[in-house]
Amino acid sequence: MRGTLTMAAPRKYPLELRERAVRMYRTAEPKPQIKRLAIELGVHPEALRGWIRQAEADRGERDDRLTTEEKDELGQLRREVKELRRANEILRTASAFFAQELDTTRRRY
């Protein structure tokens, strides 16, 4: 399926809001409570917490989760593996078919 694009689910929160929320959290002194900031911004606290963690991973401040770039690469590699497995299955089936056709010991009617 090379060249086809799948549509991702629409984001609940715009990217600009995510970036602004993370920036507000990172630049605030003292650090605000995530729950309080989330309520101010009208977002779910766990969403904000996830955005902050992802931003920290992208900056190399965390090593307990993949960076956005690594996630994108992993997704691409998984799609490639899926495509290659499908191609291998097709080749395996075709190979078995042609092996039967070329079998000289089989009687043909």
Could you say which of 3.40.47.10, 1.10.340.30, 1.10.10.10, 1.10.3860.10 is the CATH number of the domain covering 13-65?
1.10.10.10
CA atoms within 13 A on the CB side of 90: 6
Q: How confident is the model at residue 1 (pLDDT cuts 50, 70, 90)?
A: very low
Gap between the Cα atoms of 48 and 56, Å rounded: 12
Model confidence pLDDT, tens digit, residues 38-93: 999 999 999 999 999 999 999 999 999 999 999 999 999 999 999 999 999 999 99
Q: What's the whole-model pTM score?
A: 0.69
Q: Residue range 25-36: average pLDDT?
A: 94
pLDDT (0 to 100) of residue 8: 65
In total, the chain counts a number of residues equal to: 109
Q: Using an 8 Å Cβ cutoff, are 22 and 55 in contact? A: yes
Structural domain spans, the chain: 13-65, 68-109
Yes or no: say if 38 and 48 are a contact pair by the CB < 8 Å rule: yes
4 confidence band (pLDDT: 50, 70, 90): low
pLDDT at 105: 74
Q: Is 40 helix (H, G, I), strand (E, B) or coil?
A: helix
Position 67 scores a pLDDT of 97
Q: For position 107, what pLDDT does the model report?
A: 65
Q: What is the mean predicted confidence (pLDDT) over 4-15?
A: 74
Beta carbons of 52 and 25 less than 8 angstroms apart: yes
